[in-house]
Structure 1
């Protein structure tokens, strides 16, 4: 299993980094759609693991929304006088509020599951609220200051990924060596409070890097945003675990050997990206 995970990372990581840094935003927006189509198909199994028609209906619905966004809000009209297009800003804001609601659902699971577990409509809506703001946030960050510095927005996207990777890595090692107190046993029995603390501590390495390369930033704000993004990523992971547990599914898919599905790799990002993007728009633009 470990060998498979390493091999998958070795071929996947260069593709991800290459797309983030070297694809123009207008192409990046279209390349993302097949990735999110796979994620939508996997979410469809949360809605009804036994009905392929339901899964494909959800996939087509999400795909049409993403295609419509690319057509009706093209990258070249995304920013006007330093202001983000209102449709994109509204979607990111809705995404932020969804993750607040999702956190409440996670904390109250399995009791909260009695409300939505048997509702295809609610689980479909939750899937759209998870995937679409993440898609919009990726394009928004990638497009920031693209006319001045084509790598600036890409660096922001990569920064969020670094925070998530640091939090995941720190949580893994701290949880294995120190973990005693369960974080959310009803949602994910293997996650611990010690793991969460280790993950948050590990993100301080990202803060050090940011302050080294951009010392003009306010340290307190950088630490606060990093920690908030890391906590959001943890609840993105827990949220997917909650929906998988409700559907009695171990992995969202099998497309990534050793890792599971696309959602298993981007679950933390689905929360971290909208939260970080909203904060960045509020405090830095």
Structure 2
């Protein structure tokens, strides 16, 4: 299992890193579009759409994404799309985690079929907009989620005692969440203290709103990275599966890798303006 995980990770890095660092924005956007269309297929499967419906849903997602590019890459015209996704995560995300409705049935499934398209297309626009601002900027946004995840893993292993959401994801703890938050805060303070020349999410926020408010914004982003993670965990638990798919051997599916990014990306790009 470990060998499979390592091989998959190496292949992913060999594809993603060169495209992110050196390829034109259009090529970067095309690669992200492919990943999100696959994520749409997984989203439909988790909602238990029957037969070939997940494939049809992925096709609709591809068409919606292609149509949305008429808004322009990183343009202000895409802002309402980001706002719609943000509203979903701010309102529906916490509500679902607290009330735990049956998502793959009735009105909730219909709602999530529509919301999924908005969430995934908005994620693409946010990621491409971040890439337009620079390689260092897009990596800094991703780093917020990665640091929160890594910090939570190690802090949870070392100190985890109090379950964060035992009915949804028994492995997550409050201590782990605090460790992830602390990792982000430490790195953010280091970036602001270094006065890094390359544009990053932290430096851009720091220049606009100051240190204290930047840390508050990052706290919100860390919190919603957890919301995204738990939301997908709840979808999987209700669907009776461990992973969103087996597209990435040893790592599960696309949604398993981007669940925390789905709320963070549109929120971050809205906050940065």
Instruction: Map 1:90-169 to 2 at 5 A.
Output: 90-110=80-100, 112-113=101-102, 116-119=103-106, 120-144=109-133, 152=134, 154-169=135-150
Alignment equivalent of 1:184, drawn from 165, 180, 200:
165
Aligned to 2:54: 55
Say which SS state the counterpart of residue 52 (structure 1) adopts.
coil
Q: Distance in 1 between matches of 2:118 and 2:230?
A: 15
Aligned-pair CA distance for 1:59: 0.8
Q: How many residue pairs were aligned?
A: 260
Taking structure 1 as reference, are residues 199 and 26 closer, same or farther at Cα in structure 2, changes over 3 Å only? Answer: same
Aligned to 1:244: 236
Contact (CA 8 Å) 2:97, 2:231: kept in 1 or not? no
TM-score (norm 2): 0.88
Aligned-pair CA distance for 1:209: 4.2
Aligned to 2:42: 42
Q: Distance in 2 between matches of 1:138 and 1:199?
A: 22
2:235 is the alignment partner of 1:254: no
Q: Distance in 2 between matches of 1:128 and 1:258?
A: 27
Taking structure 1 as reference, are residues 143 and 228 closer, same or farther at Cα in structure 2, changes over 3 Å only? Answer: same
Q: Distance in 1 between matches of 2:123 and 2:258?
A: 10
Unaligned regions of 5+ residues in structure 1, if any?
79-83, 145-151
Say which SS state the counterpart of residue 248 (structure 2) adopts.
coil
Taking structure 1 as reference, are residues 203 and 14 closer, same or farther at Cα in structure 2, changes over 3 Å only? Answer: farther
Q: Distance in 1 between matches of 2:220 and 2:18?
A: 27
TM-score (norm 1): 0.84
> Could you report, residue by residue, the CA deviation over 1:23-52 in whole angstroms, capped at 9, with x for unpaired residues?
222232222221111111111111216x23
Say which SS state the counterpart of residue 183 (structure 1) adopts.
strand
Contact (CA 8 Å) 2:155, 2:175: kept in 1 or not? yes
Contact (CA 8 Å) 2:41, 2:58: kept in 1 or not? yes
Structure 1 runs of 4+ off > 3 angstroms? Answer: 214-217
Aligned to 1:73: 71
Could you tell which deviates more after superposition, 4-13 or 257-266?
Answer: 4-13
Instruction: Map 1:264-279 to 2 at 5 A.
Output: 264-279=256-271
Aligned-pair CA distance for 1:188: 1.0
Say which SS state the counterpart of residue 37 (structure 1) adopts.
helix
Aligned to 2:3: 3
Q: Distance in 2 between matches of 1:17 and 1:54?
A: 33
